[in-house]
Amino acid sequence: MKRIFLFIILIVGVYIAKPLWEEPVSKYVDLSFLNPVDEKINSILNKESVTSAMSSIRDTVNDVTVFITSKSSGVERILPDKVDKPDLMKPDHSAISIHNIELGATEAEVKAELGESKNRTLNDYGTEWVTYHEDYQNFIMVSFDEKREVNALYTNDDLITSKAGIHYGSTKEEVRNAYGTPLKEIRKGFGIYILQDNEGMDLFKTGDSYTYVFYDIHEGTTVTAIQIVTHALEHQKSGMYAAGDASLRNGFEQQLFDLTNAARVRHGRSILRWNDAISETARKHSVDMAINNYFSHDNLKGQSPFDRMKVDSIKYRRAGENLAYGQSSSIFAHEGLMNSKGHRDNILIEDYSHLGIGVAFNEEFQPYYTENFFLQ
69 or 279, which is more confident? 279
pLDDT of residue 77: 77
CB atoms within 10 A of CB 246: 8
Q: Are strands 209-216 and 201-206 parallel, antiparallel or unpaired?
A: antiparallel
Degrees to nearest 5, angle at CA 264 with 80 and 276: 90
50 or 189, which is more confident? 189
Mean pLDDT of all residues in 231-244: 91
2 or 151, which is more confident? 151
Q: Is the per-residue pLDDT at 42 higher than 70?
A: no
- pLDDT tens profile 95-123: 999 999 999 999 999 999 999 999 999 99
140 or 199, which is more confident? 140
pLDDT of residue 59: 31
Query: What one-letter code names the amino acid at 275?
Result: N
pLDDT of residue 305: 95
pLDDT of residue 1: 53
> What residues contact residue 189 under an 8 Å CB cut-off, 6+ apart?
238, 239
pLDDT of residue 75: 63
Q: Is the per-residue pLDDT at 27 higher than 80?
A: no
- pLDDT tens profile 8-17: 455 545 444 4
Q: How confident is the model at residue 38 (pLDDT cuts 50, 70, 90)?
A: very low
pLDDT of residue 347: 96
Q: Phi first, then psi: what are they for 19, rounded to 5°?
A: -55, -25
Q: Is the per-residue pLDDT at 2 higher than 60?
A: no
Query: pTM of the entire structure?
Result: 0.81
pLDDT of residue 33: 45
pLDDT of residue 55: 25
Q: How confident is the model at residue 74 (pLDDT cuts 50, 70, 90)?
A: low
Q: Is the per-residue pLDDT at 37 higher than 80?
A: no
pLDDT of residue 49: 31
Nearest to 261 by CA among 251, 271, 274: 271
pLDDT of residue 186: 85
Q: Is the per-residue pLDDT at 22 higher than 80?
A: no
pLDDT of residue 185: 87
Average pLDDT, the chain: 84
- Angstrom distance (rounded) from CA 50 to CA 291: 23
> What residues contact residue 4 under an 8 Å CB cut-off, 6+ apart?
none
Mean pLDDT of all residues in 263-268: 96
Per cent of the chain over pLDDT 90 is 69
Question: What DSSP element (H or E) covers 7?
Answer: helix 2-16
Mean pLDDT of all residues in 149-174: 96
99 or 43, which is more confident? 99
Q: How confident is the model at residue 79 (pLDDT cuts 50, 70, 90)?
A: confident
pLDDT of residue 343: 95
pLDDT of residue 215: 97
Q: HSE on the CB side for 66, CA within 13 Å?
A: 13
Name the least confident of 19-28, 160-169, 280-289: 19-28
Nearest to 156 by CA among 106, 223, 91: 223
- pLDDT tens profile 298-341: 999 999 999 999 999 999 999 999 999 999 999 999 999 999 99
Mean pLDDT of all residues in 212-222: 96
